[in-house]
């Protein structure tokens, strides 16, 4: 059976347990995850300070680094089984759109794994409520999520090869049972509309807080399929195709 390394950018959440349960059906999985939330760090790696690993259970460890660090560590550190496949997620909140493709920590891990020759998949699930991802009870319909993962794997499992990764976005949990698998040709250009809010600290100094709001949904895109149609969006990324463009 293939070794499957699992990471994410949210830290230890129920999404890790769900993905471990599914991955145990197709291989020998373990999780190596950031010790704290590392959203939107892209494929950043740690070069100027040490990385420390800690055991949570037999098959779950944390690392004092980024999701991409977790990917590289699993491949090269020889502390854990060298992965044949890497899964990242399940991220609380979708990673549709062009911006997450280059900024998401969830997707950054699979970029890094693919560059180092390990086929990989980034899994995310659409959530209208962006908070409280750490509470197990908020991960509704876990069996429906695993059923969706099984359907996805039937489609992409045979296509896992060196230099390839997949970005999979699931619809909200209540729509999973009727969700279809689609391969959108278009990616939403902007997943969030940035909001830069100016605030004043207690000493009278200005500081700024970067946030965002949902933009207009572009019909026919990955975001449209997930948020409006309630479908499962799959995007295949081939590094060899990107190489031809540069």
Task: Report residue 67 as tokens.
Answer: 């999701």
**Which domain does 31 fall in, by range?**
2-185+229-245
Report the pLDDT value the prediction gives residue 246, as an integer from 0 to 100.
67
Q: Is residue 45 part of a domain?
A: yes
> pLDDT of 36-54, one tens digit each?
999 999 999 999 999 999 9
Report the pLDDT value the prediction gives residue 190, as an integer from 0 to 100.
87
Q: Is residue 194 part of a domain?
A: no
Q: Is 27 helix (H, G, I), strand (E, B) or coil?
A: strand
Q: Confidence band (pLDDT; 50, 70, 90) for 212?
A: confident
Would you say residue 205 has pLDDT above 70? yes
Report the pLDDT value the prediction gives residue 193, as an integer from 0 to 100.
86
Count of domains observed in the chain: 1
> pLDDT of 141-197, one tens digit each?
999 999 999 999 999 999 999 999 999 999 999 999 999 999 999 999 988 888 999
Q: Is residue 218 part of a domain?
A: no
Q: Is residue 98 part of a domain?
A: yes
Mean pLDDT computed over every residue of the chain: 94
| Number of Cα atoms under 13 Å in the Cβ half of residue 165 | 26
Q: Which H or E run includes 19?
A: helix 14-23
Q: Is residue 173 part of a domain?
A: yes
Report the pLDDT value the prediction gives residue 217, as an integer from 0 to 100.
92
- The larger pLDDT score, comparing residue 137 to residue 191, is at 191
Would you say residue 129 has pLDDT above 70? yes
Q: Is residue 205 part of a domain?
A: no
What is the average pLDDT across 104-110?
A: 97
C-alpha pair distances (Å), 186 with each of 70, 93, 126, 150, 183: 30, 19, 18, 24, 9
Burial of 208 (0-12, 13-18, 19+ CB in 10 A): exposed
**Rg of the chain, C-alpha, whole Å:** 18
> pLDDT of 109-121, one tens digit each?
999 999 999 999 9
Report the pLDDT value the prediction gives residue 139, as an integer from 0 to 100.
85
What is the average pLDDT across 91-98?
A: 95
Report the pLDDT value the prediction gives residue 134, as an integer from 0 to 100.
73
Would you say residue 138 has pLDDT above 90? no
Q: Is 172 helix (H, G, I), strand (E, B) or coil?
A: coil
Would you say residue 72 has pLDDT above 80? yes
Report the pLDDT value the prediction gives residue 131, as an integer from 0 to 100.
67
- pTM of structure: 0.94
β-partners of residue 31 are 6, 60
Q: Is 54 helix (H, G, I), strand (E, B) or coil?
A: strand
Are 31 and 7 a contacting pair, CB within 8 Å? Answer: yes
Please report, for the domain that includes residue 143, its CATH number: 3.40.1210.10
Q: Is residue 193 part of a domain?
A: no
Q: Is residue 156 part of a domain?
A: yes
Report the pLDDT value the prediction gives residue 245, as an integer from 0 to 100.
72
């Amino acid at each position: 059976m293939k070794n499957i390394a699992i990471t994410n950018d949210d830290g230890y959440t129920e999404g890790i347990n769900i993905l471990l349960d599914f991955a145990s059906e197709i291989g020998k999985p373990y999780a190596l995850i950031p010790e704290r939330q590392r959203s939107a760090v892209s494929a950043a790696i740690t070069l100027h300070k040490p990385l420390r690993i800690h055991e949570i259970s037999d098959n779950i460890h944390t690392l004092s680094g980024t999701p991409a660090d977790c990917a590289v560590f699993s491949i090269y550190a020889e502390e854990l089984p060298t992965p044949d496949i890497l899964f990242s997620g399940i991220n609380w909140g979708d990673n549709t759109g062009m911006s997450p493709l280059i900024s998401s920590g969830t997707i950054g891990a699979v970029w890094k794994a693919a560059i180092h020759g390990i086929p990989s998949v980034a899994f995310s699930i659409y959530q209208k409520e962006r908070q409280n991802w750490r509470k197990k009870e908020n991960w509704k319909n876990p069996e429906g999520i695993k059923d969706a993962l099984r359907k996805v794997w039937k489609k992409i499992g045979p296509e896992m090869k060196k230099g390839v990764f997949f970005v999979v976005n699931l619809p909200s949990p209540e729509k999973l049972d009727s969700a279809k698998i689609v391969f959108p040709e278009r990616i939403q250009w902007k997943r969030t509309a940035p909001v830069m809010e100016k605030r004043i600290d207690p000493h009278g100094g200005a500081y700024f807080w970067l946030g965002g709001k949902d933009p207009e949904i572009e019909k026919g895109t990955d975001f449209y399929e997930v948020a409006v149609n309630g479908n499962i969006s799959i995007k295949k990324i081939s590094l060899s195709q990107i190489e031809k463009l540069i």
